[in-house]
């Protein structure tokens, strides 16, 4: 009996020691996916960005995942996890994907699904790096008179339509979306994404290479603060750009509350209803634009609305202040003076671009502000875009 007692005591003691010295694995607060569609001329930048992001990662609690699709033999599409340690953070490949079109909505959706399945957390964030031309269909940025169907991300000249990009993102899953892509801070883009996240970070103008890379070691950590610090993210990038010499002193970033886009669309609709013939009387050359080329396609939303109906602009300004929570811009963007930066851009229909005007009228934003969202003809046009 004595030996039995000693055995029970020993087992209890060992059990107690194990409990005392057990390692607590912290529960993740947030999972962030960085999606790099780099099977294009940005391929080398994806490697630079991964190195830069990894160098700043010392967070042992949360999940940081990177999907990379680069060009060449080394460019096997992969889902990568960034691992923190005391000295040298590193990456490990979680899953490899077959060579495919990373600008495909199906591939994008599959990667998001994998991240949500294998790295659950109370909060999720999404950062996308690739080429971008706002809401514009593919090819229309350089040739606005052409007919085309797609607009965002790029994989060997294959692009994704904005509506497909939005459809691939589950509703109300991400706390924020950051777009490290050119010309994405449009009302058309923000309205399309209004049910996909609470907040959007995007640029009215282009984002000059190397983009966020030089400050990624700092920026990535803003995305994992208890209250995600998107304002700090924007301000730090602006500070970096504003200190650069010459044309590299160029930046336009905005923090947009996507939950305020319906209200902004409603007041915009009222402005258009009361604009009368004013829409045709505005000289587009007087409205702030963010285009560096010959075509003017991205106009400052606030400037346009004020010129369209000065009497109603205070209502627009009020709705705009609720939609754009923070914005920062340098005094010029390469060769474009920035006198006005409301934080959102918009397209203005022009007689020179009849095909682009047709494409614009198929956007969800146009349907909302024109009052045609439920119109049968409008629905048919949206269907044509998705063929």
Mean pLDDT computed over 284-312? 94
Tokens standing for residue 83: 């691992």
Mean pLDDT computed over 2-7? 40
- Interior/surface letters 314-341, b for 16+ CB within 10 angstroms, e for the rest: ebbeebbeebbbbbbbbeebeebebebb
Q: What is the distance, to the nearest Å, from the Cα of residue 152 to the centroid of all Cα atoms in its chain?
A: 10
Do the Cβ atoms of 201 and 253 come closer than 8 Å? yes
Instruction: Name every residue whose Cβ is closer than 8 Å to that of residue 19 and which is 6 or more positions away in sequence.
Output: none
Please tell me the distance from the alpha carbon of residue 38 to that of residue 108, in angstroms, as a whole number: 13
DSSP calls for 182-234: TT--BHHHHHHTTTTEEEEEE-SS---TTTTGGGHHHHHHHTTSSS--HHHHH
Domain with CATH 3.40.50.11970 in the chain: 30-259
Q: What is the pLDDT of residue 214?
A: 97
How confident is the prediction for the chain on average, in pLDDT?
A: 86
Element (H, E) at 263: helix 261-273
Please name which of 169, 172, 171, 206 lies closest in space to residue 186, comparing C-alpha atoms. Answer: 206
The model's pLDDT over 283-293, given as tens digits with 9 standing for 90+, comes to 999 999 999 98
Mean pLDDT computed over 50-74? 92
Q: Is the pLDDT of residue 338 over 50?
A: yes
The model's pLDDT over 80-93, given as tens digits with 9 standing for 90+, comes to 999 998 889 999 99
Q: Phi first, then psi: what are they for 368, rounded to 5°?
A: -75, -45
Coil, strand or helix at 30? strand
Question: 30-259 maps to which CATH number?
Answer: 3.40.50.11970
Q: Is the pLDDT of residue 319 over 80?
A: yes
Q: 297 pLDDT band (50/70/90 cuts)?
A: very high
């Amino acid at each position: 009996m004595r030996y039995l007692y000693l055995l029970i005591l020993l087992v209890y003691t060992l059990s107690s020691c194990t409990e005392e010295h057990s390692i607590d694995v912290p529960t993740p607060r947030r999972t962030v996916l960085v999606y790099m569609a780099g099977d294009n001329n940005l391929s080398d930048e994806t490697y630079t960005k991964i190195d830069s992001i990894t160098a700043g990662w010392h967070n042992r609690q949360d999940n940081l995942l990177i999907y990379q699709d680069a060009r060449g033999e080394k460019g096997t599409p992969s889902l990568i996890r960034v691992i923190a340690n005391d000295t040298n953070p590193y990456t490990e490949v979680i899953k490899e994907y077959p060579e495919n079109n990373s600008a495909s909505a199906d591939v994008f959706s599959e990667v998001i699904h994998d991240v949500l399945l294998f790295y659950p957390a109370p909060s999720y964030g999404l950062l996308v790096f690739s080429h971008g031309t706002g809401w514009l269909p593919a090819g229309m940025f350089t040739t606005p008179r052409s007919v085309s169907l797609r607009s965002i991300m790029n994989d060997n000249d294959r692009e994704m339509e904005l509506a497909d990009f939005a459809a691939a993102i589950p509703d109300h899953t991400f706390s924020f979306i950051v777009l490290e892509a050119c010309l994405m801070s449009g009302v058309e883009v923000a309205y399309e994404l209004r049910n996909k996240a609470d907040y959007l970070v995007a640029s009215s103008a282009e984002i000059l290479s190397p983009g966020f890379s030089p400050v990624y070691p700092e920026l990535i950590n803003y995305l994992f603060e208890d209250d995600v610090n998107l304002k700090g993210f924007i301000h730090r990038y602006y500070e970096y750009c504003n200190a650069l010499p010459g044309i590299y002193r160029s930046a336009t970033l905005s923090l947009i509350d996507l939950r305020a886009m319906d209200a902004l669309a409603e007041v915009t609709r009222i402005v258009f209803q009361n604009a009368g013939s004013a829409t045709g009387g505005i000289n587009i050359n007087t409205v702030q634009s963010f285009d560096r080329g010959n075509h003017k396609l991205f106009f400052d939303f606030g400037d346009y609305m004020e010129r369209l109906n000065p009497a109603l602009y205070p209502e627009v300004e009020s709705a705009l202040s609720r939609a754009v929570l923070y914005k920062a811009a340098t005094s010029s963007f390469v060769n474009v003076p920035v006198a006005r930066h409301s934080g959102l851009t918009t397209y203005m229909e022009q007689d020179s671009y009849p095909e682009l005007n047709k494409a614009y009228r198929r956007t969800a934003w146009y349907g909302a502000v024109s009052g045609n969202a439920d119109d049968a003809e409008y629905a048919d046009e949206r269907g044509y875009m998705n063929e």
